[in-house]
Amino acid sequence: MKHLIVVAHPAKDSFTMGLARSYAAELERLGHSQQTYDLYRMGFDPVLPARELWPVDADHPVSTDVAQAQDAIRAADVLTLIYPLWWLSMPAMMKGYIDRVFARGFAYESHDGNVRGLLGGKKAVLITISGAPLPLLVKSGNWNAVQVLQDTHILRAAGFELMEHLHFDQVAPQLAKEIVEQHMARVRSCARQHFPGN
Ligand SMILES: Cc1cc2nc3c(=O)[nH]c(=O)nc-3n(C[C@H](O)[C@H](O)[C@H](O)COP(=O)(O)O)c2cc1C
């Protein structure tokens, strides 16, 4: 299968980037092909300009970076998004990727307020990281907010079959090495479980 991994974290040596590398390496080991969109390192521009608000036509062609990003999704069987929860949401970099790339006419169409996803037939995996313990997020209702907004409103609404939302909680800067290793093993296991060898 063809996998597109889109990851947003400013630090190359972060836990989040480590997860993305482990997941990508496991997919390749299983015989899949993968392309990683490392949004910070590629200098992706997350700011949606006015010209992208209009329907695509001769006067408003799709921007080159957006066209390339959309082609990468078209070519993929599976899209995996990886990011830390910042203010319970995604980093602005990832939000800007969604704003620009999941554009009307590509990811969805909308008539009279009814949204129809256009990316049906593709699978998605969502991998998030938080500082807070998951039980606390669940108890406060915050986890429900995360799921409604990110799992359902973005990925499922665009038509993806969400295979798993894998979450790593209580991730802090000085995480013990054994815990980091356990988490890396967990992300590799996620790849094996859903996408056994080609
Ligand atoms: C700007 C910012 C906002 C954050 N907001 C939250 C939050 O709302 N809930 C939470 O549990 N953790 C929050 N965190 C903590 C991060 O989720 C956590 O530190 C990060 O996922 C650890 O992964 P990393 O080492 O790859 O950065 C926030 C961190 C930053 C920098």
Q: How confident is the model over 41-70, as pLDDT tens digits?
A: 999 999 999 999 988 888 888 999 999 999
Q: Return d(Cα 53, Cα 28) in angstroms, integer.
A: 37
pLDDT of residue 113: 85
pLDDT of residue 197: 80
Nearest CA to ligand 1 atom 25: 15
Whether residue 87 has its Cβ less than 6 Å from ligand 1: yes
CA 170 to centroid of ligand 1, rounded, Å: 9
CA 135 to centroid of ligand 1, rounded, Å: 16
2-194 sits in which CATH class?
alpha beta
Question: What stretches in the chain show pLDDT beneath 50?
Answer: none
Q: Return d(Cα 60, Cα 105) in angstroms, integer.
A: 13
CA 1 to centroid of ligand 1, rounded, Å: 31
pLDDT of residue 169: 98
pTM: 0.97
Q: Return d(Cα 117, Cα 79) in angstroms, integer.
A: 15
Residue spans of alpha helices (H) in the chain: 15-29, 64-75, 92-101, 134-140, 142-146, 177-194
pLDDT of residue 54: 84
Whether residue 10 has its Cβ less than 6 Å from ligand 1: no
DSSP, collapsed to helix, strand or coil, labels residue 49 as coil
Q: Return d(Cα 97, Cα 112) in angstroms, integer.
A: 25
CA-closest candidate to residue 56, choices 101, 104, 120: 104
pLDDT of residue 131: 97
CA 128 to centroid of ligand 1, rounded, Å: 10
For residue 176, CA distances in Å to 23, 128, 170, 172 come to 20, 19, 12, 9
CA dihedral 148, 9, 44, 72 (to 10 degrees): -60
Whether residue 129 has its Cβ less than 6 Å from ligand 1: yes
Nearest CA to ligand 1 atom 4: 86
